[in-house]
Amino acid sequence: MVTPLETKHISKSYGNERVLSDINLSLNSNETLSILGRSGCGKTTLLKVLGGLESPDGGTVFVNQTDIQTLQPQDRDVVYLYQEALLFPHLTVFENIAFGLRLRKIDEKKVSKRTHTMIRKLQLNGMADRMPDQLSGGQKQRVSFGRALITNPSVLLLDEPFGNLDAYTRSNMQELFKQIANDLTITAVFVTHNVKEAILMGDRIGSISEGGLTIYPSVEAFVESEKNGVQEEIEFWQSIDKNTN
């Protein structure tokens, strides 16, 4: 079975500061790996290295068991999604979603069919002709997902994609993402600093601390670990619970 994403001994430093140290990971098809970590711990740097937007000091990245280290970002078949939706303000919802297909010069009929299917999946019916400034934050993020998913990339990299959304919209988007990731058999790395979100979104969970990545064998192992702040969070909610009862 082909491994969609694998890294071996990735390291990266900025000046004297070591941000990533000997990072090894391997993802199965249709698997989402949540990576948790404090701000500035190197989560975004890791995603950028995987996407080809930053060069590592050492190590190798494999996509579908091919070494992609020397490939440009546009040739990696790895899409990077930012916290902001970053929709193109001069294009409609339809054209934003169809953007990747247009770059690949896909036949117009196929573009129309695939884009309308994606619009339905994203529950954006009737919004195809709207401009980005006519959408809410959640709708913009859905369009951003659609634009990333329509080309069916080998790996999707998500850098705190729901960070700017309110709690209700965030919860809806988490459900929607899980559903679409299953439908389209998406393999993804999901970076967040929210413990609950990491547990909800990931099939496996990892955390970055002092440049090193720890991938836990199960959710239980993750919860029991003292490194990632889960225990503090549990204690906090238990103390709230005690005080209110």
H/E stretch holding 238 reads helix 230-244
Binding of other proteins by 190 (CB under 8 A): no
Binding of other proteins by 52 (CB under 8 A): yes
- Contact in structure between 37 and 186 (CB atoms under 8 Å): no
Binding of other proteins by 71 (CB under 8 A): no
Among 4, 37, 100, 146, which residue sits at the site for other proteins (rule: CB under 8 A)? 100
Binding of other proteins by 62 (CB under 8 A): no
SS3 for 3?
coil
Beta bridge partners of 3: none
CA distance 34 to 157: 10
Give the count of residues interacting with other proteins (CB under 8 A): 28
Torsions phi, psi for 242 (to 5 deg): -65, -45
Q: Which stretch binds other proteins (CB under 8 A): 27-35, 78-86, 181-189, 237-245?
A: 78-86
Q: Least Å distance between CB 198 and other proteins?
A: 23
Find the binding residues for other proteins in span 148-167 (CB under 8 A).
148, 151, 157
Single out the residue of 153, 18, 7, 13 nearest to residue 69, CA to CA: 7
Among 27, 61, 79, 118, which residue sits at the site for other proteins (rule: CB under 8 A)? 79
Among 21, 35, 68, 76, which residue sits at the site for other proteins (rule: CB under 8 A)? 76
CA distance 24 to 15: 22
Binding of other proteins by 177 (CB under 8 A): no
CA distance 7 to 132: 36
Question: HSE-up of 75 (CA within 13 Å, CB side)?
Answer: 7
Dihedral angle of Cα 71, 72, 77, 81, to the nearest 10 degrees: 140
Q: Least Å distance between CB 148 and other proteins?
A: 7
Q: Which stretch binds other proteins (CB under 8 A): 95-103, 106-114, 200-208, 213-221?
A: 95-103
Residues in touch with other proteins (CB under 8 A): 51-53, 72-74, 76, 78-82, 84, 86, 88-90, 99-100, 102-104, 131, 133, 147-148, 151, 157
